[in-house]
């Protein structure tokens, strides 16, 4: 499919145009296809730079959320409709920021997983289920570009062109497999989930952190990461364009004493200006000057069970339970033809095996799974397998 059926719609970038779209989509019928484009890797944060919608009776709309930053009126107009998204959890945070929050949704990617499709990207799903090939050449472009080039707008419009058709076909397939109720419970869980909590100590997710062992070096990572984050936010660019993770780790391991030593490290070479080098060195110096008591601890405090690789030493019985549980969950997932992480969250299995309910009977296991966020369909299917696994004895 090379062209949207009604051609490429104009980009809505003013209140008058937005009011017309709101009226048209409020008068439309059936589910509404929704998609958003971000500028990941180019801009700071994950805001939306284009919103695409399609609904029967309203056609396709492309909206510029930079020019129209408050789309709550559109969100309200669509509040009773089912929203069809592909990989909903990726788009919902940036849609929420501009006032668009669904009360009901259908996630075509998750539906594909539950139905047992091996490839669940939008292009693969449209091709396998509907027989159309979508041109996917512009997914990683800088969507903050203005004006947006016509080929990009064509791509964006095509992303919602067949989404409702895909939804209808997947609903039939899930119903045929006896999995439609499972999918509905999953979609309800996504729609009702609160926004995620901000990450604690996000600097600890710097790529290559496993090489950094000493507390003074950890302090350098923290100072450089936080300095980079402030600069990236101020300039509205992706943090990786300001300084790479690899450069941060290199500086932490080397603990350079001055700008000259810093400039010799990978990532701080000839393209880095003197003023910037001085900013990075000042961050390193702050970390070097910290008293011992203010240095970060190695490793984050872990809530819940330890890493599974440590179980055999810490609690051989728990390790045996986990091994048995994993085997049973894997077998059940294969039998049901769906990924095991969609059958039950691996973290829920670990928690139940580390601290089994007492007694470890069906009622206790079911309550524990509900407490760890499992949906009713998961509880019903997985409980018998886990009850059996919890009786496993250590070798």
Q: Are 354 and 314 in contact (CB under 8 A)?
A: no
Structure confidence by residue, pLDDT tens digits, 241-264: 999 999 999 999 999 999 999 999
pTM of the predicted structure, to 2 decimals:
0.92
Confidence label for 301 from pLDDT (cuts 50, 70 and 90): low
For residue 321, the model assigns a pLDDT of: 95
Q: If you average pLDDT over every residue of the chain, what do you get? A: 94
For residue 2, the model assigns a pLDDT of: 82
Least confident of 76-90, 222-236, 243-257, 258-272: 258-272
Cβ burial of 280 (10 Å; 0-12, 13-18, 19+) is buried
Q: Are 53 and 34 in contact (CB under 8 A)?
A: yes
Structure confidence by residue, pLDDT tens digits, 29-77: 999 999 999 999 999 999 999 999 999 999 999 999 999 999 999 999 9
For residue 394, the model assigns a pLDDT of: 58
Query: What CA–CA distances, in Å, run from 39 to 45, 94, 145, 287, 362?
Result: 8, 11, 9, 32, 47
Least confident of 85-94, 292-301, 345-354: 292-301
For residue 299, the model assigns a pLDDT of: 75
For residue 302, the model assigns a pLDDT of: 63
Q: Residue 165 pLDDT more than 70?
A: yes
Structure confidence by residue, pLDDT tens digits, 363-393: 999 999 999 999 999 999 999 999 999 987 6
Structure confidence by residue, pLDDT tens digits, 307-317: 899 999 999 99
Domains observed in the chain: 11-192 (3.30.420.10), 204-294 (1.10.150.80), 308-391 (1.10.150.80)
For residue 391, the model assigns a pLDDT of: 84
For residue 139, the model assigns a pLDDT of: 75
For residue 108, the model assigns a pLDDT of: 98
Structure confidence by residue, pLDDT tens digits, 314-332: 999 999 999 999 999 999 9
Cβ burial of 178 (10 Å; 0-12, 13-18, 19+) is exposed
For residue 31, the model assigns a pLDDT of: 98
Q: Residue 183 pLDDT more than 70?
A: yes
Confidence label for 269 from pLDDT (cuts 50, 70 and 90): confident
Q: Are 381 and 336 in contact (CB under 8 A)?
A: yes
Confidence label for 395 from pLDDT (cuts 50, 70 and 90): low
For residue 22, the model assigns a pLDDT of: 98
Q: Are 140 and 41 in contact (CB under 8 A)?
A: yes
Count CB-CB contacts under 10 A for residue 286: 16
For residue 313, the model assigns a pLDDT of: 94
Q: Residue 144 pLDDT more than 80?
A: yes
């Amino acid at each position: 499919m090379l062209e949207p059926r009604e051609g490429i719609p104009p980009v809505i970038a003013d209140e008058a145009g937005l009011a017309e779209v709101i009226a048209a989509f409020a008068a439309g019928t059936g589910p509404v296809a929704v998609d958003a484009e971000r500028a990941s890797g180019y801009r700071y944060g994950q805001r939306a730079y284009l919103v695409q919608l399609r609904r029967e009776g309203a056609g396709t709309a492309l909206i510029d959320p930079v020019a129209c930053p408050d789309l709550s009126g559109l969100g309200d107009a669509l509040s009773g409709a089912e929203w069809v998204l592909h990989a909903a959890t990726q788009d919902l945070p940036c849609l929420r920021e501009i006032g668009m929050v669904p009360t009901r949704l259908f996630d075509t990617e998750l539906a594909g997983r539950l139905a047992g499709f091996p490839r669940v990207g939008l292009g693969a799903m449209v091709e396998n289920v509907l027989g159309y090939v979508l041109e996917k050449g512009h997914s990683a472009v800088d969507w903050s570009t203005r004006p947006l080039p016509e080929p990009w707008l064509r791509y964006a419009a095509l992303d919602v062109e067949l989404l409702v058709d895909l939804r209808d076909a997947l609903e039939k397939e899930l119903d045929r497999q006896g999995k439609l109720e499972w999918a509905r419970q999953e979609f309800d869980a996504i729609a009702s989930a609160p926004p995620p909590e901000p990450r604690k100590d996000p600097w600890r997710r710097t790529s290559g952190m496993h090489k950094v062992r000493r507390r003074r070096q950890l302090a350098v990572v923290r100072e450089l990461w936080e300095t980079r984050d402030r600069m990236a936010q101020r300039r509205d660019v992706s943090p990786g364009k300001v300084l790479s993770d690899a450069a941060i780790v290199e500086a932490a391991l080397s603990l350079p004493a001055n700008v000259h030593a810093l400039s010799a490290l990978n990532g701080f070479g000839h393209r880095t200006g003197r003023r910037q080098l001085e900013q990075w060195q000042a961050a390193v110096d702050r970390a070097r000057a910290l008293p011992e008591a203010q240095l970060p601890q190695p490793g984050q405090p872990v809530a819940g069970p330890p890493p599974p690789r440590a179980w055999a030493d810490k609690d051989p019985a728990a390790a045996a339970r986990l091994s048995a549980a994993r085997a049973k969950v894997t077998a059940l997932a294969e039998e049901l033809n769906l990924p095991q992480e969609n059958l039950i969250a691996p973290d829920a299995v670990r928690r139940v095996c580390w601290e089994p309910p007492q007694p470890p009977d069906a009622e206790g296991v079911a309550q524990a799974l509900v407490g760890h966020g499992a949906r009713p369909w998961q509880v019903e299917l997985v409980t018998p397998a886990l009850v059996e696994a919890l009786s496993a004895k250590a070798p």
